[in-house]
Structures are given as structure tokens and as C-alpha cells.
Amino acid sequence: MPVARVVVDVMLKPEILDPQGQAVQRALPRLGFEGIADVRQGKRFELEVEGPVDDAALARIHQIAETFLANTVIEDFSVKVEVGEGADATAGQGATAVKAES
């Protein structure tokens, strides 16, 4: 059975301090990388989904992200379907994005 890859990206909300991102941003000039104004660090989850990624499957993944993968008090997340090599063509046309509004 073909599988599709659904990616959940989790990032701290813009108003939340990101000490890891700040540490990376401060280190970049010392390593010779100039011109980077800000760095935010996040998490990426790749879920392999059996069968088509329809609205019901996306709703289920959105619920997983909202209740388990992200702390919606301090984090935002987005859900997108990756269509390409190894992905089910029925997963959607292009990338489908759903952003959490929390």
C-alpha cells in the first residue's frame, strides 16, 4: 500500500524567547557567517500515512499535532503533505498546509 509523508513543523511563537536560536545567531559571526539577523529553532516531525491523505486524515494529524506534538500555549505548528518520490499521488496536489491558530 502506498504511503504519503505528512510533515508537522513546530516553532515557538514569535513572542516567546528562543535561547537556542539566540545562541546559534550569536555564534554565526564568530564562524564567519555574517548577515543573519535572527534564528529561531524548531522541531520537524515526518509522519508516514497509509492510504490517501484526505480531509479526514489531515484533521486527525492536526489533532495529533495539537494535542501531542506541540505545546500550543507557546508553539505554533503547520501541517503539510509532501508529494513526490515515495509519496502517494492521492495525497493532494502540491503541498496542503494547515496552520494552528492558537
Residue 85 pLDDT exceeds 90: no
Q: How far apart are CA 12 and CA 91, in angstroms?
A: 28
Could you give all domains of the chain from N- to C-terminal order, each with its CATH number?
Answer: 3-16+42-82 (3.30.1280.10)
Residue 93 pLDDT exceeds 50: no
Q: How confident is the model at residue 51 (pLDDT cuts 50, 70, 90)?
A: confident
Cell 543573519 sits at which residue?
A: 36
DSSP 21: H
Average pLDDT over residues 31-55: 95
pTM, two decimal places: 0.77
Per residue in 1-37, pLDDT (tens digit) is 678 999 999 999 999 999 999 999 999 999 999 999 9
For 11, how many CA atoms within 13 A lie in the half-sphere containing its CB? 13
Mean pLDDT of the chain: 85
